[in-house]
A and B are shown apart, each in its own frame.
Chain A
Amino acid sequence: MSLFNVFNVAGSGMAAQSTRLNTVASNLANADSVASTRDAAYRAKEPLFAAIRNGLDGQPAEAGSEGVKVLGVTESPNAITSRYEPGNPLADTDGYVYQSNVNPVDELVNMISASRSYQNNVEVMNTARQLMQKTLDLGK
């Protein structure tokens, strides 16, 4: 029954997109956070997706039936900027604080893309469910 496979595939897609949504939330929440050293500053995170070449049960996936997995979370290599704020309790001895390299516009675009992809997977799942239901009702 290959329609069952659709649930696995769409489910893995939803899981991956929700991870992406999570990192976006984390990035936006930390967009204005500052740190006292360049190394401690928050760097924007982004998940890295890959197709599942092996099925969810460890068996080799059937051709064309590939889910998504999150390989890992990468951190943005963009430069960390510093700001002169001697009054800030987090400022270093020279009076500088280091702010995160989150670009809110990037994150919002990412968020919309993730939510659209998530919705696509939900629709796929809904349709597959309806088709299965109708198949079960066959002959009634």
Chain B
Amino acid sequence: MSQPIDNLFGMHTGALALWQRRTEVLASNLANADTPGYLARDVDFRKALAAAGGNGAGNLPLAAPTQGQIDPVAQARDTLSYRVPTQPSMDGNTVDAQQEQAAFAANSVHYQASMAFITAQIRMLRTAITGGQG
């Protein structure tokens, strides 16, 4: 059922899911800014892209525990990387609040951009359906 919708909006539904995921990861980093030993993480876009679009050789790698089933948790874990700390800290925490805030702000703009694309697509379809009357 979701197939026509996916085709309609192209990569933007997948992108939206990725931005959502990244929002969650960055929120965790910010929430744990004072937790000793916490290691900041972020979505590795190279890996995420490879997971979504294949490895460039035309193969589409899908992590499937059983045939016909995709494990989103395993996939999500695979696309995460640890942030390289810019300066050492006494308690082993690698969260840099400024860096995380900047990433969070950029991420929400990306999210809104993806939504703008989808909205434009919907508007275009509506125009096509109503013939510009609605």
A-to-B contact residues, CB < 8 Å = 1-3, 5-6, 9-10, 12-13, 16-17, 20, 48-51, 62-68, 113-114, 116-117, 120-121, 123-124, 127-128, 130-131, 134-135, 138-139
Chain A residues with CB under 8 A of B43: 64
Given contacts A63-B77, A64-B76, A138-B119, contact A3 B23 (CB under 8 A): yes
Q: How far is the CA of A120 from the CA of B73 in the complex (A)?
A: 27
**Closest chain A CB from B48 CB (angstroms):** 12
Mark contacts of B1-30 with chain A using CB atoms, 8 A cut-off: 1 yes-contact digit, 0 otherwise. 000000000000000110011011111101
Q: Please determine whether B122 and A49 come into contact, CB atoms closer than 8 angstroms.
A: no
Task: Point out the residue from A1, A63, A120, A139 that lies within 8 Å of B30, measured CB to CB.
Answer: A120
By a CB distance below 8 angstroms, the chain A residues around B101 are 120, 123
Contact B35 A68, beta carbon cutoff 8 Å: yes
Q: Across the interface, which residues of A come within 8 angstroms of B17, CB to CB?
A: 2
Decide if B38 is an interface residue (CB 8 Å cutoff): yes
Q: How far is the CB of B108 from chain A (nearest CB, A)?
A: 5
Tell which of A16, A117, A124, A135 touches B27, judged by Cβ atoms closer than 8 Å: A124
Is B115 an interface position by the 8 A CB rule?
A: yes
Q: Is the CB of B112 within 8 A of A117?
A: no
B residues engaging A (CB < 8 A)?
Answer: 16-17, 20-21, 23-28, 30-36, 38, 41, 43, 73, 76-77, 80, 97, 101, 104-105, 108, 111-112, 115, 118-119, 122
- Tell me, in angstroms, the Cα distance from A68 to B31 when the chains sit together: 7
| Chain A min CB distance to B17 (Å) | 8
Q: Please state if A64 and B24 are interface contacts (CB–CB under 8 Å).
A: yes
Which residue of B has the minimal Cβ distance to A5? B24
Q: How far is the CA of A16 from the CA of B94 in the complex (A)?
A: 19
Is A2's CB under 8 angstroms from B20's CB?
yes
Interface pair B76/A51, CB less than 8 Å apart: no
- Verify A121–B77 contact, CB threshold 8 A: no
Contact B32 A13 (CB under 8 A): yes
Contact assessment for A9 and B28 in the assembled complex, using a CB-CB cutoff below 8 Å: yes
Query: Is there an interface contact between B108 and A131, defined as CB atoms closer than 8 Å?
Result: yes
Which of A2, A51, A127 sits near B32, CB closer than 8 Å?
Answer: A51
Q: Report how far A5 CA is from B115 CA in the complex, Å.
A: 20
Docked CA distance A63–B26 (Å): 12
